[in-house]
Amino acid sequence: MTRVCLVGNDDVDLKYELLSRETSREALATYALQRPFDNSLAVRTVSIGAAVSLLNDLQWYLTRFVDEAFVQEPSISDEEWLSRSLATALRNGDLEPAATDEFCKVYGLETVDRHPVSPSSRDKESTDADAETTQQLVEPLYVRRTDGDLPAYDLRDVEETLVVRLTEAEYSP
């Protein structure tokens, strides 16, 4: 199954913004919502076409609340994601899957602890037991794959990275 991941702007609670509005709530109603990264929302769709269609349906909200929209298509890669533009180009037949791995954006992944704010916890100090651990995408590094290898992520000391394949136009400065 194809996955779609939306990463929210730093100044919004993405899940709240999408589910508090009728049109986006209805568009997402048939999907099981997941949260793979801090301030993100992910769903599984049946195909890359369905993923692109969902992103098109959510366009108004993506413009206002989303920093990044990724698509992961298992027939292309189980580990790497595609940018929305690249997924659209693949769906439209403008690119072949084998021609998608040269241009990439690599994010560092850092573990962060979030203390949830609930009505019952507002009046008392948060404890470590209340903390929720999640991963946060940090500082993307634009790279080109050469001879099948990606350059190492060197912007921060991180244990893990997330690779997003891009179109040549998205990669070019």
Do 14 and 42 lie in one domain? The reply is: yes
Question: Do 129 and 158 fall into the same domain?
Answer: yes
What's the CATH code of the domain at 29?
A: 3.30.70
Q: Which of 46, 74, 95 is the last residue of a domain?
A: 95
User: Does 84 share its domain with 138?
Assistant: no
Instruction: Please give the pLDDT value at position 120.
Output: 46
pLDDT (0 to 100) of residue 130:
52
- How many domains is the chain built from? 2
- In this structure, are 9 and 84 located in the same domain? yes
Mean of all residue pLDDT scores within the chain: 90
pLDDT band at 96 (very low <50, low <70, confident <90, very high): very high
31-67 confidence digits (pLDDT tens): 999 999 999 999 999 999 999 999 999 999 999 999 9
Q: Assess whether 71 and 118 both reside in one domain.
A: no
Domain identity same for 76 and 8: yes
Check whether residue 87 and residue 114 sit in a common domain.
no
Asked if residue 114 and residue 141 are part of one domain, the reply reads: yes
Helix-, strand-, coil-residue percentages of the chain, each rounded to 5? 30, 35, 40
Instruction: Kindly state the average pLDDT of the residues 97-114.
Output: 92
Same domain, 63 and 142: no
Bigger pLDDT: 113 vs 160: 160
Answer yes or no: do 20 and 84 share one domain: yes
Same structural domain for residues 85 and 35? yes
Of 92, 117, 108, whose CA–CA distance to 143 is shortest? 108
Give CA–CA dist 173/168, Å, rounded. Answer: 10
Give tens-digit pLDDT for 109-151. Answer: 999 887 555 444 444 454 555 557 889 999 999 999 988 899 9
What confidence tier does 90 reach under pLDDT thresholds 50, 70, 90?
very high
pLDDT at 121: 44
What's the pLDDT at 150? 93
pLDDT at 126: 47
Residue span of the structural domain in which 63 resides:
2-95
Give yes or no: residues 11 and 85 share one domain: yes
Give the integer Cα–Cα distance in Å for 117 and 100. 41
Which of 62, 95, 128 is at the close of a domain? 95
